[in-house]
Chain A
Amino acid sequence: MPLAAPRPETWIRATPAGLYCEPGDFHIDPSRPVPRAVITHGHGDHARPGNGEVLATPETIAIMQARYGDGAGANLQPLSYNETLTVGEVGVRLMPAGHVLGSAQVVLDYGASRVVVSGDYKRRPDPTCLPFEPVNCDLFITEATFGLPVFRHPPDDREIDKLLHSLSLFPDRCHLVGVYALGKCQRLLALLRRAGYEAPVYLHGGLLGLTALYERLGVALGPVLPATGVPREALKGRIVLAPPSAAAEPWSRRLPDPLVAQASGWMRVRQRAKASGVELPLVISDHADWDELTQTLDDVGANEVWVTHGREEALVYYATKKGYRARALALTGFEEDE
């Protein structure tokens, strides 16, 4: 007689430190240091320093080491995509999430019950990382950063064209593009190269390290140069990538008549772009948009859905209406930045 599959809530739950898997005795993307952590990807709100044992993809571990040095964790254990490791009584497998280099979904098997934790993910192709692979499961624990139907990201190529068109319209203005240091920066570089843009791209100091790391891990990004120390005149008509906050910092005063752009899913809302002083919004996101979020619920075939962070209420409402058992976990510690 086959054993009844244990109900997910009996073995995985939200705690103040984040998602906790009891039969494996580990946390996933904990918000405070824990003895054992599985990390989905290298963004600072998911991969925090100071954990004991850390399990993650080799790329994510490299990123954590680049960011935190010795603070990355007491013992770092790489697990390649698609390989299974048994932790306690739980089978742990990492599958590509398509979010940034090294990003993973965590597939957990306990008894006959399977839970997939999406981490942050997107469904559209990204030249800098492997694409998301849907895995059938009983419970899908998903992000919902862009969990409202107003968020529909346009094709990347169109947004890159907007940037290149603006460069040709304003050849005397430096184009300062706000990008997140991990993932967005490198993806934008790769997209520019794919669109045939071969000139050097200038980077804010805060982006150089991770960009070099991507290159070392085999992602070709074309010529990049530090923006700091370059004469003002030389930056006319050039693309400068910097963290989104840099446009408001004294750092940006070195740039010739900068045209402020930003690459983010939030740029879809014009008033939001306007309020952040962005002149050229580029809707390029590393998160799933509404259509991707809802499509993925169907693709993974789970009958239960938990939503970790973002605009949970709309996705929970939608999933419930579609007949899923759905609830919001309201995990804290995750940022809106991307």
Chain B
Amino acid sequence: MTVRVQTAPFDVEAEVAALRGGDARVGAVVTFLGTVRDINDGTAVATLELEHYPGMTEKALEAIVAEAQSRFDVYGVRVVHRVGPLAPTEPIVLVAVTSAHRADAFDACRFVMDFLKTRAPFWKKERTPDGDRWVDARVSDDDADARWG
């Protein structure tokens, strides 16, 4: 499947192998792996709780992948995003892209992440020593989205 939302960890190598398959046209595989940091805005984070909107989140990710496929010359795109409680250093999200040459794979991978950040319904809540707090959206993420026009 192109897009998955799951609580379980994922295996990057297995995901890449499944995406790449035996396609001899593929000359470039670009992956982005997002992981949990232990500090956000100066506060220690014990756990991150990832929430999504079942149904809409998958549709939004599929729309982003479809958009990437129409904009860039890529063969395959795969997005795996975790939800539920996540500890610092754990992987949150994987975007993997295959293409004939690196430029389109790099661009498509970044495009998917930039759009995911501003358009896919996920929300982070941090568990900190001072209590729980919802993470605020970043203006820099809107800027990253806007650069794609």
Say whether A associates with B: no
